[in-house]
Amino acid sequence: MKHETIDVAQSDAIDGLSEACSNVTVGCADVAGLIKTVISSSEQLRAEHDALLGTVEALDQDQARVAEASEEARLISKNAIDRLGHGSEQIRGSLAQIGQLLSLVETLSRHVTGFAAAMEQVRKSSHDIEQLAQTTNILSLNAAIEAARAGEAGKSFAVVASEVKILANKTRAATDEITRTIDALGGEAEQVIEQIESGEEVSNKARNSVIRIEETLTGVIEMVHEVDKQNEQITRSTGTISEHVGCVQDVLHAFNHATIQNEATLSEAHANVIELEETSNVMFDKIVHAGLCPQDEEIVNLALRTAEEVKGLAIAAMEQGELDVATLFDENYIEVPGTNPKLYRNRFSDWADSNWRPILDRIKASSPIIVASVCDDRNGFLPTHLTDRSRKPTGDYTHDLQHCRNGRIIFNDVDRRLKKCTADYSMAVYRYEGDGNKYRVVRLVSVPLLINGRRWGEYEISYTL
């Protein structure tokens, strides 16, 4: 391209125009990127806000369930207090009757013990009577002997002695019967006394148990009253918390509404900046096409020559049977498992690594202002890349984002315009991503790759001046 009619002043002005246009494009790209970052941050913030709102709503629901359960617990405790009050009266009445029964057992024990003592006295008296009967029997025997000696004069006395003997025998028989009866009663009395003594021990234990039951019942009633007080306090606290949760929900809803409005405003601003960026890119493209940017023209010419070299390799490979059309234009992108950012491979990737990558590396090394040299198909797929940016993925996102770019699919607004262009080349300015946080604003020359009349994609050089 020749500019013979342009003097030095005009050349400086044109260079200034080109630089200004480039600066506008760079500024638009920078602002567009910043706005997009803000929108992404806002979307992430709103997603976190939605999650927080969901948590608050869940908390409100839980709080409502707690309030409902607390009210139900309060009613249950109230019913329990009423039932315990009624039941405690019955229990205390029963305990009083048990106490009376225990007192009767003690009285019976005393009476039975006294009865046993009286039976012992009767046994002693019966023994004394038996002794007297034996003595009487001996005396009657002696009297009968003396009456027999007296002869006729002692007959009447013999009759008396005989009757006394008969009476003594009856008395002994009676005392024997009394003794047997007393012995039987004494045995039964002893058994009754043993059972009463055992019953007294049980009664004492029962009395102690009754005392403990009364103490426990009193403690239970006091605890239920305390639970009722706590439930009432919980109900009041739950109501207060529900009010605070309601206020938080109101604030979150207001925040969400404001965030949505801000995102809408930012999206509109982003669209306007993108439109301005696109306009600036078009102006930059026209200025370069007009031959008014000598520095950019050098990179354009390099890109045109390299595109012809890239096409020539592919055409020669197809003519020699090393490559077929289906492989060259393969769009079956197979995802490489476990990669982030996602990488893909297709049937053309291996050939591109072996044949196109050396060219890309040579062009990158040819000038310090060149940032990247790539071939991407019409869908933005990079079958290969520079060797330094075709490293093995490590799983570290920052590393892989910068150094594992072979197999990426990158298709943005700039790519969309360039792939529609039918000119020999197109110019653009865009943000070249680095580690995900930092970026570089670079210039780009894109040359269509027409292979046997069919557009495969583009050859591109990214550079800075």
Give Cα 195 to chain centroid, integer Å.
65
**pLDDT value at position 363?**
97
Residue 461's H or E segment, with its range, is strand 454-463
Q: What is the pLDDT of residue 3?
A: 42
Lowest-pLDDT choice from 47-61, 84-98, 212-226, 378-392: 84-98
Q: Is the Cα torsion angle 86, 92, 97, 101 positive or negative in sign? A: positive
Q: For residues 390 and 382, give the distance between their C-alpha atoms in angstroms, rounded to a whole number.
A: 11
Contacts of 100 (CB under 8 A, 6+ apart): none
Of 273, 235, 214, 231, which Cα lies nearest the Cα of 90? Answer: 214
- What pLDDT digit, counting tens, does each position of 47-90 carry? 776 777 677 677 677 667 766 766 776 677 677 667 666 666 66
pLDDT 10s digits, 147-206: 677 766 666 666 666 766 676 676 767 677 777 777 776 676 667 666 666 666 666 666
Mean pLDDT score of the chain: 78
Please check the confidence at residue 388 and state whether its pLDDT lies above 70. Answer: yes
The per-residue pLDDT for 2 is 43
The fraction of the chain above a pLDDT of 90, given in percent, is 30
Residue 106 has, within 13 A of its CA and on its CB side, a CA count of 10
For range 14-28, the mean pLDDT: 66
CATH 3.30.450.20, domain 293-463, yes or no: yes
Helix axis angle, 294-319 to 155-289, nearest 10°: 110
What pLDDT, on the 0 to 100 scale, is given for residue 356? 98
| Burial class of residue 26 (count of CB atoms within 10 Å of its CB; 0-12, 13-18, 19+) | buried
Domain at 63-249: CATH code = 1.10.287.950
| Domain boundaries defined on the chain | 63-249, 293-463
What are the tokens at 292? 């008014």
The pLDDT, as a whole number, for residue 352 is: 97
- For the chain, percent of residues with pLDDT exceeding 70: 57
pLDDT value of position 4? 42
Q: Does the predicted model carry a pTM greater than 0.85?
A: no
**Which residue would you say has higher pLDDT here, 358 or 417?**
358
Tell me how far apart the alpha carbons of residues 280 and 27 are, in angstroms, rounded to a whole number: 10
Task: Give the rounded distance of the alpha carbon of 256 from its chain centre.
Answer: 26
Q: Name the band, by pLDDT with cuts 50, 70 and 90, for residue 17.
A: low
User: What are the Cα distances from residue 238, in Å, to 71, 77, 333, 417?
Assistant: 10, 18, 57, 60
Q: How confident is the model at residue 425 (pLDDT cuts 50, 70, 90)?
A: very high
What's the pLDDT at 395?
Answer: 93
Among candidates 21, 140, 36, which has minimal Cα distance to 428? Answer: 21
How do residues 395-414 score in pLDDT, each as one tens digit? 999 999 999 999 999 998 88
Query: What DSSP assignment string belongs to 305-374?
Result: HHHHHHHHHHHHHHHTTS--HHHHT---PEEPTT-SS--EE-TTHHHHHHHTHHHHHHHHHT-TTEEEEE
pLDDT at 437: 67
Contacts of 304 by beta carbon, 8 Å cutoff, 6+ apart: 424, 425, 447
